[in-house]
Structures are given as structure tokens and as C-alpha cells.
Chains A and B, each alone.
Chain A
Amino acid sequence: MQVKINISLKTGVLDPQGRAVENALSGLGFTDASQVRIGKQITLDIDAEDSARAEQRAARMCESLLANTVIEDYSIEVIDAS
């Protein structure tokens, strides 16, 4: 089952990379852009009977390795539930 995991910085955690990108956007005239935050996306296949089980396994993976829950939030999307 294909699973997409989105990892983002928690609100309140400074994102210097996001800020630099925001400044660059503003320099290009995109002054309407604000609150730029940069995260990461991990896609993987999980061998599971159903999407609930796949989601549960993905959450375990996030807690034990994929996300640092001190500073990051994660969300899980099971794409291929067929």
C-alpha cells in the first residue's frame, strides 16, 4: 500500500530556511507570500492488509524514526488502498 507522509515543523519552531525563501520570494516581487515553512515528504510502500493497518504502521515509523516530535508534526495519507 502506498503511503505518503508529510513532515512539517511545529508552529513556533523557527524555520530559517523558510524565512530565507520568503525573503527571496519577496525580492522577486511576490510580496503577497508570507509564513513560508519548509517540510519534507516521504513516500513508501507498506505491506499491510488494509489502509487502517498501513496508517498505524506509518505512525509507528514516524514516532520511532521519521519525525522528531520535539520539533516536527507529521500527517499520513494512504494513497493506494486497493
Chain B
Amino acid sequence: MRSAILIFPGSNCDRDMMVAVERITGRRPALVWHKDSQLDPVDIVIIPGGFSFGDYLRCGALAARAPAMEAVIDHASRGGAVLGVCNGFQILLETGLLPGTLVRNGGLKFVCREVRLAVQETLETPFLDDLSSGTELRIPVAHNEGNYFADDALLDSLEEGGQIALRYIENDPTRTANPNGSARNIAGILSANGRVMGMMPHPERAMGNGHPSEDGRKFLTSVLEGVAR
């Protein structure tokens, strides 16, 4: 199981993700600096959360044009697996590897709390092999731009094509299920070939051992075992 984690100036979840992946797989991921245009063959590339390039211009816009991302686009075009978390999701949308965009949270506030998610019925994807549809996960979010936006035609095609991977569901009756105003409660989506996934929640922050939830480990285990098969 070979994996790589990209690092941009302003990434801040790269190390947490590295520790999480190493705990699950026993093998340390390669850390790839954004200026590297070469990517050694890996089973999965993970784009971590953070504030790449200070979120200048638009979240993920500058990172999406970095040399390392050209290598990631190449990897994805050969059917390679890519997971983007939070800012990583924003970057994948900016490259066009995933459709739609993420805009400012509806409530105009940075949202940092645990949310409850439900795994959706999807097209065939290695990421969710071990998580049947309807599986509930408690994983934290921490973002200012997590409000998924696309026109109705695209949203309909995502639903019909089974590309919606995760949705926010009711957590605490005093709070709304959807933390950011995201269209159709979308928390994570898949590419049309099921090999690229973007999600706002941070699975590396729900690894047990002091974290309140262990569901991030469950999710990442499914992802990492799925892509290694």
C-alpha cells in the first residue's frame, strides 16, 4: 500500500493525515512538496486540509495550478485514486477533477464541530467498499468554505449517477443537520469513474486514541484497503 500526501504552503493537516495513514497501513506515506512535478507510482494520492496559499484568490485556486497537481491530474487520468479532504476537496474542484464548487458557508461563520454523516448509495468505488450505504459516521468539520454549489442539472446528474458519497444528517436536534448550507446536504462527492473523492469532514481527526470518535479511522481504513485491492 503506497500512498502520497501533497504539501502546499499553508497545508496544516498533512502531518495528521500522515500519522493516520501510517497507523492504518503500517507504512509511512511519501510527502510530496507542491513544486515537485514528479510523483512516484502510488495506490492513492491524498490532498490534505489547510489553507493552501493562504486561500488567496479562491480556496484551492492557486494550489490547483501547482506543478505537483499536474502530476496528480496525470495519475488520476490513468485511473489512479485521489482523496481530497477539506482544502484538498476545494483543490480538486478547482482542477476540474471533480465537478461543482465550494462557496462561503451560508452562516458566514467558520464551522468547527463534529457532524454526523451518512454513506450514500454510490457507483462502484474502492473508497466505500467496506461501508454499506446508510452507514453513519461521526467526523469533525472545520471550514469556512464548505457550502457545495452546483446548478440543478449537475446536482441531478450527481444524484442519478451515484456520485454523492456522503451527506450531512441530523446530529443534535437543536442544530441543523447541514453545517454550511451545502446543496442537498452534500458532504462528499465522487468522480464519474469512482476513483477521485472529495469531502469536507476530516477523517484524520476522528482516529480514536483521545479523539472523541473513531469513525474517521473506519472511513480511512475502507479507503486505504479499497485502493490496495
Contact = CB atoms under 8 A, between A and B. Distances in A.
A1 to B, nearest CB: 22
A33 interface: no
A14 B108 contact: no
Given A66-B57, A68-B58, A68-B94, A14 B65 contact: no
Contacts of B106: 14, 16
B103 interface: yes
Interface residues of B, number: 17
Interface in A40-55: none
B110 interface: no
Contact of A16 (B65, B107, B150): B107
B100 interface: yes
A10 to B, nearest CB: 10
B73 to A, nearest CB: 14
B139 to A, nearest CB: 24
B61 A70 contact: no
Contact of A71 (B65, B105, B149, B181): B149
Contacts of B100: 70
Contacts of A66: 57
A17 B57 contact: no
Interface residues of A, number: 12
B34 interface: no
A65 B103 contact: no
B101 A14 contact: no
B186 to A, nearest CB: 15
A65 B57 contact: yes
Contacts of A12: 151
A28 interface: no
B150 A70 contact: yes
A16 B108 contact: yes
Contact of B104 (A16, A64, A70): A16
Contacts of A68: 58, 61, 94, 101
B220 to A, nearest CB: 29
Contacts of A65: 57, 61, 65
27 contacts: A12-B151, A13-B103, A14-B103, A14-B149, A14-B181, A16-B104, A16-B105, A16-B107, A16-B108, A16-B181, A17-B104, A17-B108, A20-B108, A64-B65, A65-B57, A65-B61, A65-B65, A66-B57, A68-B58, A68-B94, A68-B101, A70-B100, A70-B101, A70-B149, A70-B150, A71-B101, A71-B103
Given A16-B106, A70-B149, 4 more contacts: A14-B103, A20-B108, A65-B61, A68-B58
